[in-house]
Amino acid sequence: MQAGRTLFQSILWRGLYYGVAFIINILIARHFQASVSGAIYYISSIYALVLLFASLSLESGIIYFTSRKEIPVSSLFNFSVAWSLITGLIVLLTVYVFFAGAYQQLSKPLLIFSAVSFIFGNLLTTYCSGFFYANNNFIVPNAINMIGTVLLIVVLPYGGDSVIPVINNENYFYMYFGSFLLQGIAVTIAAKLKYIKQGLQHFLSWADFRLLFRYCSLAFTGNIIYFLLYRVDYWFVEKYCTADQLGNYIQVSKIGQLFFILPTILASAVFPITAGGKKENIAELLTLMSRCLIFIYGIACLFLALTGHWLFPFVFGDSFSAMYQPFLLLIPGILSLSGLFTLTAYFAGKNQIKTNIIGSVYALLVILAGDMIFIPLFGINAAALVSSMGYMVYQAYIIVVFKREFKIPLSRFFALSVSDFQQIKKSIVASTTKQD
């Protein structure tokens, strides 16, 4: 039942963190409205793209090789911290010299501070969380991130006033971006105290370096494609639509990403289990998760389809009245991806990342072609529909490959039965009893 306990802990603690992250997203959207919050999230998506390239997907290698115990953990830790620091310095110099005035929505000091804090802090958090995840510990890094996000909620200047008098609408985003840096430092210290017993003199050998980067190069390629898969439409919408439409579409995208939280949590547990060589009826486990997620999210999407027309403006504010129709068009894509994350985590854990890359390339080609043709004509509605089509292509490819390996019927991915509920109940009871 080790897999069940790992999944339970991952769902609980990562779910709590994502819950408070969703709350701060709503509060920022309501307080600063579509144009300002859209600008902040748009610049954050640019930073996330830089982060993607800067990270080299080292976190995948950290989890994979720590789980398999093939590279000394102290060497991985020292290299990841050193790489984070070097990257942070490069970002600081690059933004200060070349891009300080490139984005008019942010002042020069805030642009520099936000870029360095977001990228350097997230690198530390992502890398050092990997040491916890490889040891099936999801409590510490997510508790740290949750505390940082709760603080952002507390100090938000509601009505122009914050509990900290010096914080106001003009400087709140220094606190917002600075939280990424503080969380990264805290997770790094926690990882060092918990898992790294050797000093700072241990570095990767040449053989370990080659082994690490052979794996990470494939993960890096895949992550670039995944990022474009989920974000490339932002740039088309920003080019061809208004600032309010961009803000509305980004919130629709964020709602879609909320549906990916639970699959991501489950995938983060499946990856080290598979990488560590544990089978535990993996095919049955993965297809069960796929069936359950599609069933649960089907109900959730139906609820939002019935209520979203008034619920979205009620939750996010009147400036988000254009969210409803794009969300409806994104529902097929949400359901397609919801059952896909654990399958791609399985292939990554088996060092078969090429399978994930091929499927995502097919999907990206569909999305790029559709965005270029239809967003200039039909705006954010086209962006949502095209994304759904691409995600369905991705799902179809991964399922075909998985079926070929395990020889299981297609219905095992979609059709939920009464026995499935009994199995879930049994696993939860066993997991909680064992933890107690």
- Over residues 73-111, the pLDDT tens digits come to 888 999 999 999 999 999 888 877 766 655 566 677 778
Which pLDDT score, from 0 to 100, does residue 435 have? 46
The residue ranges of every structural domain in the chain are 1-55+72-203, 218-428
Which pLDDT score, from 0 to 100, does residue 427 have? 53
pLDDT tens across 166-186, in order? 777 778 888 888 999 999 999
Mapped onto helix, strand or coil, the DSSP state of residue 161 is: strand
pTM, whole model, 2 decimals? 0.69
Burial (Cβ within 10 Å: 0-12, 13-18, ≥19) of residue 252: buried
Distance between CA atoms of 333 and 347, rounded to whole angstroms? 21
Q: 436 or 350: which carries more pLDDT confidence?
A: 350
pLDDT at 39 over 60: yes
Cβ(383)–Cβ(323) under 8 Å? no
**Helix, strand, coil % over all residues of the chain, rounded to 5:** 85, 0, 15
Distance between CA atoms of 12 and 99, rounded to whole angstroms? 40
Q: Which tokens is 357 given?
A: 């890359």
Distance between CA atoms of 322 and 243, rounded to whole angstroms? 12
DSSP state at residue 158: B
pLDDT at 396 over 80: yes
